[in-house]
Structure formats: structure tokens, C-alpha cells
Structure 1
Amino acid sequence: MNLGLILICGMLALKAEVPVELAPGSQLRSVDVVLDCHYVEEAVGEFPGAFAGSFSSDPATLVLRGISIADDGSLDSVTNYEAPGTKTDSTFPIIFEVSASLVPVPYAESLLHADCAGEEVTCEISPYSLHLADEGPSQASWFMGTLKLSSGISIALVLKVSSDSEEDDRMAVLHPRLKVPVSKEGTVLTTVEFQLSSRTPTLRTRFGTSVTLDCSFALASSSPLASLEWRLQHRGSGRRVFHYQTGDMAQAEQSTAHVDVVQLLETGDASLSLHGVGVGDEGTYICLVSTHQHQAQNIIQLQLVEPPRVRLFPELVSREGDGATTLTCEISGYYPLDVSVKWTWEAPDDKDKVPISDSSTYFSSHRQAQDGTYSINSYLSINTATELRPVTYSCHVSHLALEEPITASAQLRVPEQKTSKGLVGAFIATFIFFAALVGLLLRTRKTGMNKEQRHRVLHLSTSRSVDPKSEKSLETSG
């Protein structure tokens, strides 16, 4: 990182709480963006017996000259790049100076502030062959620059070698490694003729959603658009999803795929929209943009994920029969296939969950639903007769679609045990109950006897008050 970038990062750190929107007084400023790269080319015939397809890699520098960046005052300390020149041993460093006068370089501000944002930039430069057949001895030299930020931005630049003087090419100094003319400072002067970029090199989405695969380009006026093609590669097979040829009607090979042709022609937006994605839409998408001279592509990975639903049953386990019980952890509706299941148990007085050995568990076979999602059951056999404490058994499920594992639990109930004090208390309560019942019966019986005695006394007193004549007649009859 040079001194200018260090100062920029310091100023940006002080302004970390300032909103992203530019201040009213902000204006565009022309700066140089310097990137550390690698020059990569196929090693052909350098060493006897070299394997075909092997590559060599050398340190290189990519300098994006005069890039317009929005300046809110934090770029005051930035200075222009100065080429180091040739070394004393007459060797040349590999330095590409790039002019963006014909085609702008996208996401230049992200490239400039990558170090401040903690991002990594991967940069590779390699020889580039024109899309058409050889144009003859006067054909210019071309290179391809590929930039990738760790945040997901990818940029492809088609670079055409130019010259900083009008001298005869025969008088120009050639780079000893690249075999192309170099400037007085020993740098390779190039111009951007074609750029292709994407913000979404990897996308992850759920079933049934709609997604947009970002792909944008810009061309020099001398090389208009010839065609756009979107292809899908998955598990060794490929098919075309969308195709547009200049002057012809756009052709979508599937009803759920769409490219806005108006935006394609007006702004260079070649993004592909997919609606209601399913298993058949997963894979590697290739955005292939062609002119009559050039061809470049973006590669975008689309991955489908669906989180599992987890259920553990029975939720309550009691001590019945011989004590053998099987817990079932039902895991369903997930994608992709890989899923991880762990079992634990925990007693009330335990501080941590105790892992259960895999030897105590087993799985059913995988099942696949019509929509492509998977299901599986995990089983745990337990013996409730050997466990005297209440225990919680848990099934923990991890999957690519989950930030944290899903946990489902079941409770083992332990029956209440009666102590000697409890038995004595129960006996006393029972004795008191029966004593009260006997007392109530005796009281009821005594009350009944008192009523009978009063009735007899009343009857006798009534008999003695009978009329004397009646009593005499009774005696006579007697």
C-alpha cells in the first residue's frame, strides 16, 4: 500500500460514521488506481518435456490511468503513479498502463478503496486472442485483465496495446518477455476496448424465488454488440437458456428466463432474470457477450438451498413396559442432500449437554420429494429402566441453509417415589378419615335411638288421658 492510500484509509476511518451519500460539494477527480497482479501465460516449449497446458506466472502491475472517482476531499493526498523505469541490468518489469478513455472501468472506486475496506483484490493478466480469424501482419497485440474482489465483484478488461509515439514500429523497443512495444519508462501502454462485469459471481437462493444474475458490459464504438448468450452447465451437461443476435428476435429457451433487450442495447445490461427457480435451474451460468472482434464471459454460480424441518417424537417418554423406547428425529424438506445430525442428553443438574455416541443411533434411507427436496429419519434407542433422573434428549440438525443448527427435544419423565414420611402421613390421614366416619355413624345411631324413646313416652302419656267411661267400658268388655 503506498503512502497516498494509507492517508486515504486514515481519512476514511475518521469518516466512518458519515453517510454513504456524497456531499453536495463533491466532484469527480481523475486518479490512478494501482493493482498488484500476476502475468499468466501458457508455457510453450520453454523446457524440454514440459507438460502441455502448463502455465507460468510472474509478478506484474496494472495501472488504471486517469480514472474518475467521486471526491469529497479524501483524495487530496493521492498522487499520480510514477513508473520505476528499466533496471540497471536492462530487464523490464511487467507494468501495464491502461487508458479508459474509450470504455470506462466499472467499480473503480471499490478497487481504489479495497485496502481500506479490508477487501482482497485478485488480478491476472494474460494474452488474449481475437474472436475472429487472424487479421494479418498488422494485427495489434491484445491482453485480458481479470479482476476479482473478495466482496464478489468481477471485472474482465480486453486491452489493446497502443504506442506513446509516432515512431516507426521497427524503431520501438520491445518488452523482452511480452514481445510488444513499451514506452520510454518501460511500461506497456494499453487501452480498454471491451469490459464485462458482474456483482453476483455466486448466488444462493431458496426454492420458488426469483433471482437476477448480474452481467453488464461496455464496448468501444468501433466494436458494436454482435450477440448475447446465456448458457447453463450442470453435472456434465449443458443447455442454452437465452440467446440474442443483433437484428433478430430474442430467444428464451425456457419460459422462466428473461433478458430486457431494451436495457441490453441502451445500457449494456445483459442480466438474466429467473422466476420460480427449482432444482433444474441450479448450476453454472455463463454470460457470453460477443462483438465481431471480441468475446468475453462472466461465470455465475447459482445454488439452491432449502432449510430442513425438524420434529422429534415422542415428545414425552414415560417408564412403561420393559423400558426400551426409540426416539425418532424426522428431518424433511431440505436441499442439498448433505445434512448432519448429532444427539445429546442432559439432566437437570448437568451444566453441559452430553454427546451421545453414534453407535447408539441409526438412520433411514434418504427420500426425495417431487420438488427435489430430501428427507431422512434419525433414530435413538434408549432404556428408561436404567435412568432414575429426569432427562432431556435432543436432536441437533446442521445444514448448509442454516446459520445455526435446529434443535428438537424430548423429555423423559421419572415417576414420583413415595418416602416413609409420606407413607406415615398417608396412614394417619386414612385413620383420621375412618375415625371421623365411625364417630358420625355412632352419632347418627344415638340420635335415632333418642327419637324412638321420645316417641314411646309420648305414646304412653297419650294413653293415660283417655276418657274414664271409655276405660270402664273396656274393663267391662274385658
Structure 2
Amino acid sequence: MDSRLYLIILNLLIVCNDIQSFEDLTSRKSRKLSCMYVDMRNKTLLGYNDIMKQKAFLVLSSRKQLSKEYFDSEGITFILKDSPVNTMKFLKEHTLDLVCEVNPYFTDNTQIIWPGIHVIENMEEAWFVSRFKHPNDKFQFTLFFTHISQKSLEEQDGSQLQAFPNAEIRYVLPVFMLSTQTPHVQTRLQEDALLNCDFSIDHHADVNIVWKLLKKGGQEMKLLTYKGSEKSVVYHVKGIAMYVDEVPKGSASLVVKNVDLEKEGLYTCSVSVNSLFGDQVIHLEVVEPPIVNLNVKSLLLTEGQEQKLVCEASKYYPLDVNIEWLREGRDQTLLPTVLKNVLYSSHKHNNDGTYSLSSFFIFTASQLDNGAVLTCRVEHMSLKHPIRKSVKVRVEESPSYQEFFLGGARVSQSTTEIGVKKKECCHAENKTPRLDFEEKKETEETRSYSSFNWKTRELGSLKVKISCVL
């Protein structure tokens, strides 16, 4: 699918979700999120930063009256008032799953001027930033909110504050949100990857956008810069795209084209408006599944015969892969057993950055193996389920022998007769003859000669074994 079309579809889904979320906003019950409030601005007597942590709760509600259960005397309660910045598309179903942290937001004495916001006088903590993360990497977002001014507080139901004198309650208004629905992106080599980055502001405003990449080795590089006042984008590298006409719709998403291993790493989408700076970090990872092959398709062996079995997993990435051999009996009533004494080759590093690995062992045929199934099982992080390649074993009994005795003859004079006998033995079965000669003397001393490698000599008797083999 074309990356631009995919982006349009994703934005349509988000818009539909926003519409549903707006409907939920008017009818929903209040929601309470457990968070952690962390302030790193406190300093000790020695001048070091002292991190202050305490419980915090975010209450999302359109109600003017809240019951006692939404307030806690042991922590700070932030009541998020209704805003054009719609957080419900993330929070309506995942309230209990989220990891949440709230921090005071400051800009080194730079005043934040925001339309329609009157900062409470003499209040140091007027702005806050809260970061939310789904534990299964479904999404993550950053939310900026500010105190509602004292005048606005009086317009709310002021009796509610007096009803809970021991609770620290702050009414806040969300003004800016930056989110991604692709915190962790896995892609195959040579494919395009969409890194989702969306923003929402409570009023129309020009934004500035910067994308950066931190590679595995620690090298950081700037990818692009977008200036909202000029509606223009400057690309610092090739092979990426951001659609400028989607920015006014709240999309700062990036398309990474033709992904290779050099494009792996942590991508940071930074969006700034006025004096608020938000960012989202997205992990782009190349994952290539292995190609698995066996060196044999079938096994037909004679009892005692040996065969080398090789299982090769090739063209996979990243490095870690697990290969094991299993044996399953012909009755298939017992669980497969893992074979021991299996050897492995060293990892082969291919030109495209992928890896290959072989696992092998010497199989000695036995009648107990007749009908058994040997399976190579390969596990890799790119696979939802292991890859299995199997071969069924057929084992024939050792060949039977026909015996002939040539008494008192020279071997050299008996080759014709032996040739006739071996032809009679094997012609009907379309098999190859094999001859074994055993010499017996009166002293019972025995010496053996294989095939036709014998010497001419007088013998007391000659025992000839003719076997027919494939």
C-alpha cells in the first residue's frame, strides 16, 4: 500500500475515533487515573537536585459535581476540564493500563503566552506536562495543561473545593497534546515504514516540527525541519517524506522509505507551539524472518547406514535465533524428544546485514527409527510461531546373504562362476550385487577379502556371500 494512502486512512480512522470520543465525552462517567507527580526542581542545602515524588490523580469528567471517591488527601488531584484537545480517544478504554507521570513545566523564566489563558498570579506551578504510555506499546502521548485562573475557578462550582479541605485539588485545562500510535515499529528490509506523530492544539496555531534519528551506535542526525510560519520543510537526508499538506490537520507523521539497517534506531518527533515543546520517541526496528531448508527431502536407509542431516536458517535479522532437532516416533503418542549431540556452524554475516546459521548431526539408521519423523524447529523474534521442517525416516533391514561354497578351487578360476551367481541373485530385484569372500583353512584361521581384491592361492574351501543392495 502506498505510504500516503496509508497515512490518509490512518487520519480518517483518527477523525472517526475523535467523533466517537466527542459523543463519549458528553455521556461518559468520570474517570480517575493513578499517576506519579515528580518534581526535580527542588534543591538540597548542598545544591544538588532533590527529586520529589508523590501520588497524583487525573480526573477526567464533564460533571460539575464529583463524589468523594475522586479525591484523595494523600496526593494531588488534577481535574481536567473539557477542552478541544480530546484525550478521550486514548483514555476511554485504557484507563487502568496506562503508565502516567506528571511534572511541572517551566521554560527558564520565559513567559508562556497562550490565547484565552490567564495564569494565576504568584503561582510558580502554573503549567504541567503529563506523559502517558500504554504498557503494550499501543500508543503514547504527552499532554500539556495549565491551571485555570482564580476567576475561572469561581465560575466553577466553588463549593466543591470547600467540601474537601484536606485534598489538594487543581482544576486544569488541556491545551496541547502530542501523540503516536506507533511507539514501536517493526518492518522488513526494503519496505517503507510510517512513523505516526499527531498533535492537537486548543486553537489554530503555526507549529514547528523537527525529526531526528539516534542510531544504534549513538550517532544522532537531524532528518528534517518544518517551519509553520513559512509552511515549508527542509530535508537534511534522503529517503524520507513528510506531507506538508497534512500538517494543518494535525499530522507530523514521517515516512521512512526503503528501510535498511542504517535506518534502524530511535526517531524523535518534536513539535513546538509558542513556548511549549513536546516530543515522541519511536523505535524503528528491522525484523527479517529466517528462510529454513533441510538438505534432504526424504530418508530411505539401510539399517546401520549413516546420513548427515543439515538444517539451515538463512537471511534472518536480528542475530538471535534458536535451532533444535526433534524426533517423533512412528506411533506419535509420545511428545517429541529433543536430539542431543547436535552441532552448529558459526554465524554467517550476509552482504545485506542479515545472518545465516546451520545445525547438523550424523544420523545412524536403526529399525527403531523406521517410520519416525525428524523435525528441525527454528525460533526467531520475527516469527509468531516457530518454523518446522520435517523428514520421515524409512529404514530397511540389513541385506540377506546367499552362500556358495567352492571347495578346493583357485579364486581366479572361479570368477566366472561367481559372476553367474551374483547375476542370478540380483537381476530379478534390479539391485546391485555385492560380493564378500571368506577363506577358511584347516587351522580355522580366517581372513576376509572384500569385492574382487583377492590373491590367487590354494584354499581349503571358499565361502562366497552374495548380497543384493540398492
- What TM-score range do you get, normalising by the shorter chain? 0.5 to 0.7
Opposite residue 404 of structure 1, the aligned amino acid is H
Query: Quick check: 1:32–1:81 contact (8 Å CA) kept in 2?
Result: no
Opposite residue 128 of structure 2, the aligned amino acid is F
Opposite residue 133 of structure 2, the aligned amino acid is K
2:324 corresponding residue in structure 1: 342
Opposite residue 368 of structure 1, the aligned amino acid is H
2:102 corresponding residue in structure 1: 125
Per-residue deviation, residues 33-63 of structure 1 (Å, max 9, x unmatched): 422222332466688899x677443222112
2:245 corresponding residue in structure 1: 262
CA drift at 1:32: 5.9
2:140 corresponding residue in structure 1: 154
Matched, 1:415 2:363: no
State which of 141, 145, 151 in structure 2 corresponds to 1:165. 151
Opposite residue 218 of structure 1, the aligned amino acid is S
CA drift at 1:291: 2.2
Query: Quick check: 1:132–1:294 contact (8 Å CA) kept in 2?
Result: no
| Structural RMSD (CA) | 4.0
Change in Cα spacing, 1:232 to 1:131, as seen in structure 2 (3 Å) is farther
2:355 corresponding residue in structure 1: 374
Query: Quick check: 2:180–2:280 contact (8 Å CA) kept in 1?
Result: yes
1:455 corresponding residue in structure 2: none
Opposite residue 161 of structure 1, the aligned amino acid is H
Change in Cα spacing, 1:252 to 1:324, as seen in structure 2 (3 Å) is same
| Greater shift in the superposed pair: 279-288 or 137-146 | 137-146
Give the Cα separation in 1 of the matches to 2:289 and 2:224. 30
Change in Cα spacing, 1:404 to 1:192, as seen in structure 2 (3 Å) is same
Mapping of residues 327-476 of structure 1, within 5 Å: 327-358=309-340, 360-384=341-365, 389-416=370-397
| Greater shift in the superposed pair: 138-147 or 339-348 | 138-147
State which of 68, 84, 91 in structure 2 corresponds to 1:111. 91
CA drift at 1:419: 9.2
1:441 corresponding residue in structure 2: none
Opposite residue 165 of structure 1, the aligned amino acid is K
CA drift at 1:84: 6.6
Give the Cα separation in 1 of the matches to 2:220 and 2:52. 31
| Greater shift in the superposed pair: 374-383 or 316-325 | 316-325
Identity rate, percent: 23
Matched, 1:194 2:176: yes
5+ residue gaps in structure 1?
Answer: 1-19, 67-77, 169-174, 176-181, 421-429, 431-478
Task: Give the secondary-structure state (helix, strand or coil) at the position aligned to 2:210.
Answer: strand
Change in Cα spacing, 1:80 to 1:242, as seen in structure 2 (3 Å) is farther
Please, what TM-score do these two structures have when normalized by structure 1? 0.66
> How many residue pairs align between the two structures?
366
Question: Of Structure 1 and Structure 2, which has the larger fraction of its residues in strand?
Answer: 2
Change in Cα spacing, 1:386 to 1:81, as seen in structure 2 (3 Å) is same
Give the Cα separation in 1 of the matches to 2:335 and 2:123. 75
Query: Quick check: 1:125–1:144 contact (8 Å CA) kept in 2?
Result: yes
Matched, 1:271 2:218: no
CA drift at 1:342: 1.3
Query: Quick check: 1:62–1:98 contact (8 Å CA) kept in 2?
Result: yes
Per-residue deviation, residues 417-464 of structure 1 (Å, max 9, x unmatched): 6899xxxxxxxxx9xxxxxxxxxxxxxxxxxxxxxxxxxxxxxxxxxx
Change in Cα spacing, 1:380 to 1:142, as seen in structure 2 (3 Å) is same
Task: Give the secondary-structure state (helix, strand or coil) at the position aligned to 2:330.
Answer: coil
Change in Cα spacing, 1:48 to 1:27, as seen in structure 2 (3 Å) is closer
Matched, 1:61 2:57: yes
State which of 134, 138, 144 in structure 1 corresponds to 2:129. 144
Opposite residue 120 of structure 1, the aligned amino acid is D
Change in Cα spacing, 1:154 to 1:45, as seen in structure 2 (3 Å) is closer
5+ residue gaps in structure 2?
Answer: 1-16, 113-120, 155-160, 402-423, 425-470
CA drift at 1:316: 3.0
Query: Quick check: 1:219–1:225 contact (8 Å CA) kept in 2?
Result: no
